[in-house]
Structures are given as structure tokens and as C-alpha cells.
Amino acid sequence: MLRCGRHTFDLARPLVMGIVNVTPDSFFDGGRYLDASRALEHARRLREDGADLIDIGGESTRPGASPVSESDELARVIPLVEALAAQGTAVAVDTRKPAVMRASIAAGAAMINDIGALTAPGAIDACAASDVGVCLMHMQGEPGTMQQAPVYRDVVAEVRDFLVARARACEAAGIARERIVIDPGFGFGKTLAHNLALLRSIGSLAATGYPVLAGLSRKSSLGEITGRGVGDRLPASLAAALAAVARGAAIVRVHDVRETVDALKIWLAVDVKA
């Protein structure tokens, strides 16, 4: 079971988190949903398509993206969180800023999804003061420069040890274990080889006992393998989502919810879990 505010998820089947970026510059949907009503409409569509959670991001973290101020991020994100939460949608907010976390939680967010794994001062406390779920993601370096020369001695062990340490820090601060998700952070300070090693080893991350979220949707590693641009990575993304789930991922974070839900239905029909 995963507890996220008033939402409780059964992890017996994989969950789908649908992505809505309200940014001018995200790599796939940047600029498309900057208008709040369009973002809301897109989020509703993703819900209808079968998303269990909607992930709202107001800060692009792609290499070279410009930083966003706290007030801009709040203005982009909070109205959407309020509107979606009021409809009963489980909303995750993708942010690194404690002030955005606190405002999102007050607006009804179910989960805080932090690519910084709640390392900002005050971030753990902002989440511990509520009952939201938290997604702790691994990143090497900072978004602007992380892809320049990522180096690991043992990428799987380092990512796993970091995530377990962050999860323990959250538990020590009062965030119950059932509220915690871990994420290897595909593409965040990782080469293709690092990403593949982590994908192959999702089972060893899942063996920590924390549910694992995998975010591979349309990422550049898929482009490196297929030679396709970001707009032509849907088949690769579906294959990556299935590969992750087959190795024990509990949640997949995707742009293409309808297609992913269909792919998972086939996988579930074959790989029946009693």
C-alpha cells in the first residue's frame, strides 16, 4: 500500500502517473499547457485515460532550462493543484522548493515529487508536517550541468544507497514508510549505460522495500537507442515502461497515459498476479 494524503493505492498492480508540465521549456510538452485551462483540460484527459496520479511540474529541469522564481512556480502550479484536488484527483507536485511544497500541500496535493529527494533545507519538514506521499529521486549534479560527465564507481549501488539514506532521513523525521517512493532518476546525471544498468537493476531497488517509480517517458536515452526524436519516442517509451514494470517498478511516470495503460493491460493479462 502507498499512502498519499487521502488517497491510498494498492501496489498489487502498477500505477500510472501522468505528466502535465506547466513550463515554457520542458523538453516534450514545454509551452503546450502553460495556459491554466489547457493544463487542466489535459490533466482531466489523462485522468480519463487511466492515470492514477497527475504530476504537475512548474520548473523545467532539462539541461540548460532557465530557473524559475518561487512566485512564478507558485502561480503556475497552485491553481491547478486546487482545481484537480477539488475533483478528487491525486495530484503530485514536481518541485524542489519547500515553499512550493507547503503551498501545494495546503492546496490539496497528494504527493510531493522531488528530483532533489527533499535535500533542500526545510523540504523534509514541509512534507513531514502533512500526510502526503513523497517521491525521492536520485540526481547526480544539477540540471544545468548534470549530463556533462556523469561518473560512478558502481551506479546501482550508489543510487540505491543514496535513496535508502534519504528514505531513512524521511522516516526519522516522521514520514511513514508507506508514504515513501524511490526513483533512480533516469537521465539525471546518467549516461545511456548508467540508465540501462539502473533499468536492469530495478529489482535491486525494489528489494529495499520501497516502491520504485520509473520515469523513462520520451527521454533522450530512448532516442540514443532508436535514433528517434522526442516526438517519435512513443513505442520506445511503451517498451521502456513495460521493461521497468516487469523488473518490479510500482509506478511509471509517463506523458502518454492512454497508450501506457493499454500496454500495461496486456502485460497484466499475461503476467497474472493472483
Q: Which stretch binds ligand 7PJ (CB under 6 A): 82-90, 116-124, 156-164, 182-190?
A: 182-190
Min dist CB 143 to ligand 7PJ, Å, is 9
Position 219 contacts ligand 7PJ (CB under 6 A): yes
Residues 3, 248: Cα–Cα separation, whole Å = 19
Q: Tell me how far, at minimum, the Cβ of 33 lies from ligand 7PJ, in Å.
A: 13
Q: Spot the catalytic one: 102, 179, 233, 253.
A: 253
Stretch binding ligand 7PJ (CB under 6 A), from 71-79, 104-112, 147-155, 212-220:
212-220
Q: Is 253 an active-site residue? A: yes
**In terms of CB distance, is 208 or 273 closer to ligand 7PJ?**
208
The helix/strand/coil state of 25 is coil
3-state secondary structure of 249: coil
Please report whether residue 97 would count as binding ligand 7PJ according to CB under 6 A.
no
User: With binding defined as CB under 6 A, does residue 140 bind ligand 7PJ?
Assistant: no
Task: Verify binding: residue 58, ligand 7PJ, rule CB under 6 A.
Answer: no
Could you say which of 52, 73, 94, 256 contacts ligand 7PJ (CB under 6 A)?
94
The catalytic position among 97, 190, 219, 233 is: 219
Whole-angstrom Cα distance, residue 84 to residue 168?
Answer: 31
137 binding ligand 7PJ? (CB under 6 A): yes
Please spell the DSSP secondary structure of 96-153, one letter per residue: --HHHHHHHHHTT-SEEEETTTT-STTHHHHHHTS--EEEEE--SS-TTTTTS----S
C-alpha cell at 95: 518541485
Sheet holding 251-254, edge to edge: 180-183, 133-137, 111-114, 91-94, 53-57, 15-21, 251-254, 213-214
Q: Which of 183, 236, 244, 264 binds ligand 7PJ (CB under 6 A)?
A: 183
CA–CA gap between residue 95 and residue 115 (Å, rounded): 7
Binding map of ligand 7PJ across residues 13-32, x = CB under 6 A, - = no contact: ------x-------------
8 Å CB contact between 193 and 221 = no
Report in angstroms how near the CB of residue 114 gets to ligand 7PJ at its nearest.
8
Any idea which residue has 532521513 for its cell?
Answer: 169
Q: Which is nearer to ligand 7PJ, 135 or 238 (CB)?
A: 135
User: Cβ closer to ligand 7PJ: 73 or 183?
Assistant: 183
| Residues 107-128: b if buried by 16+ CB within 10 A, e if exposed | bbbbbbbbbbbbebeebbebbb
| Nine-digit cell string for 105 | 500541500
Residues 6+ apart with CB under 8 A from 260: 16, 237, 238, 241, 252, 254
The CB-nearest residue to ligand 7PJ is: 215
- Interface residues with ligand 7PJ (CB under 6 A) are 19, 61, 94, 113, 115, 135, 137, 183, 185-186, 213, 215, 219, 253
Catalytic residues: 219, 253
